[in-house]
Amino acid sequence: MDLSVSLNRLQLKNPVLVASGTFGYAREMESLVDLSSLGGIVPKTVTQAPRPGNPPPRTVETASGLLNSIGLDNDGFDQFVAEKLPWLLSLDTAIIVNIAGKTMDEFRSMAAVLQQHAGIGGVELNISCPNVSGGVDFGTNPEMAAAAVTAFRSECEHPVIAKLTPNVTSVVPIAQAVADAGADAVSLINTFQGMAIDWRRQRPILGNVLGGLSGPAIKPLALRIVWQVAQAVQVPIIGIGGIESLDDVMEFLVAGASAVQIGTANFYRPGLSAEIVQQLPDAIRQLGGTGPSAVTGTLQIPDRSAARCGPAAGSR
């Protein structure tokens, strides 16, 4: 089966990617995963200037999830381009560089440099990290989110993905805004803001107090947002949130995603993504499909209007 998918200008050999912040810069996983089997790799977010990240503790396990407050710890954009990117581009899979900027000028500056590297598959704009000041503001405002996409596209022709936050009343208007600004796809979703408390010490557990919740606990919420955006906005969706099995992947596809990113599961089952790629064809055939796009957005909602309008069961 041909598992390839097209997300506007972004071409992937299959719809299974690994999410930023959960796979390092891929070299760490080289001995554990057949990297060439993946549809794409999204390395750790990089920022214009180096960042030390947030104070520890930075992670804490929760019920069916993980709270993290890394704070975009990285060595900076220049070091990434010089030392990490050449090796990444030698891999036989799509590399989706993930960047975060404090200002529109930073997005433009990084875009101009990335434009010079033809082998990049696409760029994911992290405008939604809940663990740093500034970045999340872009993703909570439709105009600012669109401006970030516009700023990037003014300097770079690579396909661009907007990674959106769930920490808003509705993601739909923000997804519409970035789509109108020219985003090739949207990643749904980044983590939910949360916290953990040591009540005996009467202190927050995370050094930054708040963190982002990921893992299986958020899957129902992520599915809901993917479905809502798919119903309202004509833009390809990359589903993210709590995926740890083939069934989870198929749920996201049926809900409206064209591709998925596997995140937290990489920490405890690094080979999962490659396993799912092998399992996908049989699952797609079960739905009568010939490829991933044939099952995307095929969720059937029962028509309950007649039941609502008619007499209640047992009424006289």
Q: Which of 16, 46, 129, 237 is catalytic?
A: 129
Candidates 101, 122, 84; CA nearest to 47 is: 101
Mode of pairing for the β-strands spanning 210-214 and 65-68: antiparallel
- Cα 268-36-120 angle, rounded to 5 deg: 105
Q: Is residue 127 a contact partner of residue 139, using CB atoms and an 8 Å limit?
A: yes
129 tagged catalytic: yes
* Residue labelled with tokens 């500056």: 109
Rounded Cα–Cα distance for residues 276 and 249 (Å): 8
Candidates 30, 31, 53, 52; CA nearest to 41 is: 30
Tell me the CA end-to-end span of the chain in Å, nearest whole number: 56
Q: Is residue 227 a contact partner of residue 171, using CB atoms and an 8 Å limit?
A: no
Task: For the beta carbon of residue 19, count every other beta carbon within 10 angstroms.
Answer: 28
Rounded Cα–Cα distance for residues 215 and 55 (Å): 22
Which residues form the catalytic set?
129
